[in-house]
Amino acid sequence: MKKLLYIVKSKLLYPITALFILMVLFIFILVLDKDGERNFVTSFDRSLIGVINIDGVISSADEHLEAIEEMLMNDRVKGVILRVNSPGGVVVPTYEVFQGLKRLSEKKAMYVSMGTIAASGGYWVSLAGDKIYANPGTITGSIGVIAENVGVKGLIDKIGLKMRILKSGVNKDIGSPFRPIHPAEKELLQGVLDDLHQVFISSVLENRNLDVANYDNLFDGRVFTGNQAKAVGLIDEISDYYGVLQDIKIDLNLPDAKEYVFLKTKDDGLFGFFFGNGMVDLMNNFLIESKHMAGAVFWSIYGY
């Protein structure tokens, strides 16, 4: 009986081992050879092109600043692609992201790839790049600031409600939707917007070599297509993401560099570590292809 078991084990051991190895190799090939690209970053890859994605409305800077810090501290990252697909955002987070990106661009080459939309604050953060690329149909520009609210006093009066407001300063309820805005209040708020607009304009002038004759047309909040933006000097080149990737590899003389996308680790315990982002980050992460979709978002409260 023991001899029979020994024979069975001997005959099954090698096929099972071989099958297991083949399965591992198959999975490995799927990971490494997606769409013809070698997408897995290993510790043997000494030169990487970092990718920072800015998607959607910029309402917080924390996640973006964490990615920026990783790109700064990782010595294997030789250059960075900033992939922008954003209609803009809240003033302070947008400013903080821009400043962080400027610090990064001072240390490492950074090229910007605009997706569907990179307007208002999305354009502002793009100014940090050494070169700005857009698709022909990218919507960009919108260099301005907007603040909106809805007046509901007429509705409140019709349904018989009355707002009671106590305040310690004459302008404490400035912009209240429950009463008409006074001319003096409108002037104050317009001053705030104009000041923020000048900060935006200063960033454009400091980072783009623009024709003075075009200023009035550039800074009135209008949007441009990628082609129009290139014609007036708001961007440098027309190209899709993969064209930008090839350009930065050529310019840095790194033809074999792989893309590296920083993924924030989630604290999901041991299961999350081994099966979630923890293990992915530990293994230097998988390449996330930059395929984005973004719709037009109209900003409301003090937004770029």
Catalytic machinery residues = 120, 172
Pairing state of beta strands 139-141 and 77-86? unpaired
Torsion of CA 181, 185, 190, 192, to 10 degrees: -130
Distance CA(127)–CA(202), nearest Å, equals 11
Rounded to a whole number, what is the distance in angstroms from the first to the last CA of the chain?
Answer: 80
Listed residue (244, 298, 290, 296) closest to 138, CA to CA: 296
Q: Buried (b) or exposed (e) across 86-99, using 16+ Cβ within 10 A? A: bbbbbbebbbbbbb
Retrieve residue 254's tokens.
Answer: 């790194």
Q: How long a stretch of residues is the chain? A: 304
Using CA atoms, how far apart are residues 85 and 57, in angstroms rounded to an integer?
9
